[in-house]
Every structure is written in C-alpha cells, then in structure tokens.
Amino acid sequence: MIKKLKGIGLLILANFLIFITLSITFTLLSELILPAFGIDIRGMVTYSDLLWALVLGFGGAFLSLAFSKQLARAMVGECSQITTPRTPKEAVVYETVHKLANKLDIAMPEVWVYDSPDPNAFATGPSKNNSMVAVSRGLLDNLNEGEIRAVLAHEMGHVYNGDMFTTTILQGLMNTFVYFISRLIYRQLAERNELLAFGVYMALHVGLSLLATIPISWFSRHREFAADRFAAFSVGKEYMISALRAIDRWIQQTQFQYATDDALAAMKISGPTWNFSKLFATHPPIEERIAALERL
C-alpha cells in the first residue's frame, strides 16, 4: 500500500504516524507516568492545552517535512541516486530536472530511481532548494522521452510551488484541532473513569485524524491540477496528456492482468472515480486531469 502513494501522500502518511505517536506519548507521560513519580504537570497543562496542541500539531507536521526525503526513500524500498546517468532514459531524467532547476532558479533536487513496475514519480523535501525527485523503473520502461519530461515537469511544479510546505501548514492546523478537541473530551471523562477516558481519547484521536485528512487530500488534488498546468506550460500540454494516457493504459492492463494479486492496482497513479474513498484520495482521476489539460 505504501508504495502506491506519491510525494504528498507520503508526507500525509508520515505526518499522521508521527503526530499520533507524539500525542499518545505526551498524554501517557503527563497523565500516568510522570504523576507516578510525583511529577504532576496536569494542572499546568489544563491552562495551556491550546499551546500544547499547537506545539504537538505543528511539531509533528514539521518533523515529517524535515525528514520527508529520508522517509520517502525508506517507504519506497530499494532505490539509487542518479549522479552520473548510466542509461539514455536516466540521462533524460537527470538532464530534464537539471534544466528545469536552472530555469526556475532553484537548487538542483536530488534525483532518484526506485524499483517498482508501475509508472510513477514523486517529489518531496523541506523546501524548493532542498528537495528530491524520484521516478520508478516502470515509468522509464513504459513512457517515451517526451512523456517522461512531462511527468518530471509536473513534479518540478510541486517543488517550485512549495506544495510540501503549504501542505505541512494545513496539516499543522488540522493536527492542532484534533489534539485540542480530543484533550477537552478526555478531561471531561477522566474525572469519572481514567481508563475509559484514555480509550475514548485514543479512538477520538485516530478518528478525528482520519477526518482531518479530507481537507488535506482535497488540497492535494487541487495542487495536482496546478502541477499539470505547470507541466503543460513548461513542455507542452500534449506531452502531459500523452503521459497521462500512457499511465492510464498501464493501469487498465494491470487491473486486468493482475487484479487477483493487487486489488488496488488502479490506485497507484490516479485517484478513484467518485465514491466515498475519493474524499481521501490525494490524486484526481486521470480522466479529470486530461479534461482539465484539454481546456487550457
């Protein structure tokens, strides 16, 4: 499942895991472990819950951003950095990223290739001058040179527009609300039953965190259209449309041939067509992206 996510999806997942870990750890320390040793900060925390919510909410979001490149490489598995291209396709990848970085006047991102059969790519990193762009072997094997350049321009659009940073700010705000609401309800219940309160707190925390991904995912889908437009203006919309159609053909073939092995094959690049799961999709359906490009 993890390998099916792209850059912003990886960032959302990393933030979710870090924030849940930080919040539960802090609650256990302040409510159970420290009081057992005679250190009681619960009174202080009561009057500063909003401050703690901000610290933990934005702390988790910015930790995931700071280590986004390392986390992404760990999640996709085996990968190698391109510093000296070894094949013509790797040369296309490296040269395209280098030319776009010079044109946009930003630092050259790290360029990586990871082993995966699906045609995929993503960009991540703390800032536009400290980023990485990664492509799958499947992308190099299934797309032609013009299509590869279009996909790379799309990812460089994410880098140049600072999408990772703006996503992090939105995540921090959502995290803050989740923690603050969960703590308020926890405190109301803790006076009667500490164990019940902690159980409700954990359930609320996870549930509200999942709901908080809905506006974050909406923003991600919005930014995908913007990155498509960036690619269209950078290399030509016909190449971006062709790349999306090539990816869609691969998805349809894979869904047919490997449906029993991978029920989520169609989720690797494109978001789902409309249903409840679309609320949590970080990418719009390919047909919607192509239609938007054709209207340019």
Catalytic residues: 155
Contact, 275 vs 210, CB < 8 A?
A: no
Contact, 68 vs 13, CB < 8 A?
A: no
Angle at 21 between CA 17 and CA 26, to 5 degrees: 155
Taking only Cα atoms into account, the Rg of the chain, rounded to an integer number of angstroms, comes to 21
| C-alpha atoms less than 13 angstroms from C-alpha of 15 in its C-beta half-sphere | 31
Contacts of 260 (CB under 8 A, 6+ apart): none
Contact, 182 vs 205, CB < 8 A?
A: yes
